[in-house]
Copies of this chain bind each other. A is one copy, B any other.
Amino acid sequence: MDDFVSNYVNRLDSKGRVSIPAPYRQILAREGTEGLFCSPSMDRAAVDAGGHGLRKAIDEYLEPFDVFTEEREILATALLGESESLKIDKDGRVVLSEKIKAHTGITDSVVFVGHGYKFQIWQPEKYEAFKVEAAKEAIALRKSLSARRQALRQAGEGA
């Protein structure tokens, strides 16, 4: 049950390094990954990051699409072609590439957000904005989900 949870804000130093939060490092170490796999989010100013768990999720996502098909090429380009593997130094730090900084708007501070099998990297202010939006939408989603379940139960009783 080792999953990326919680969120942490760390600072970039003058050399552009940032510490991966210690709890995340331990998970990555247990996964046996060297290098932090980073894949820019398609629709947000965030980067998906992780180890084998994330790689596996991507592979399984691509799997149903036949190789050499248009869809496969497009998805592979977005999910793998634009990704990179950042080197983790002896002190558990990485240097963010220019591409990641441009995509996220990160300049001097990073927030790491746990998503279970992966985590995301954000510029703190952008994450704050997304978070309040996500909180609202999560409540709406929950309502519609429980309404649907309720309807299913009653249909079941009626039968």
> Using a CB–CB distance below 8 Å, which chain A residues touch chain B?
1, 3-7, 23, 33, 37, 42-44, 52, 55, 57, 59, 61-62, 67-68, 70-71, 73-85, 113-117, 120, 130-131, 134-135, 137-139, 141-142, 152, 157
CB neighbours of A7 from chain B (8 A):
81-82
- Please give me the 5 A-B residue pairs with the lowest Cβ-Cβ distance, nearest first: A78-B138, A6-B84, A81-B113, A76-B115, A77-B134
Query: Chain A interface secondary structure, helix, strand, loop or mixed?
Result: helix
* Number of identical monomers bound together in the oligomeric complex: 2
Residue in B closest to A55 when the chains form the complex, CB atoms = B1
- Distance, CA A142 to CA B62, complexed state (A): 11
Q: Give 23 pairs: A residue, B residue, CB < 8 Å, sorted on A.
A: A3-B55, A3-B80, A6-B83, A7-B82, A23-B85, A42-B68, A42-B142, A43-B139, A59-B116, A62-B116, A71-B141, A74-B137, A75-B141, A76-B115, A77-B138, A78-B134, A79-B138, A80-B114, A80-B115, A81-B113, A81-B120, A82-B135, A83-B114
- Distance, CA A67 to CA B68, complexed state (A): 20
Residue in B closest to A41 when the chains form the complex, CB atoms = B73
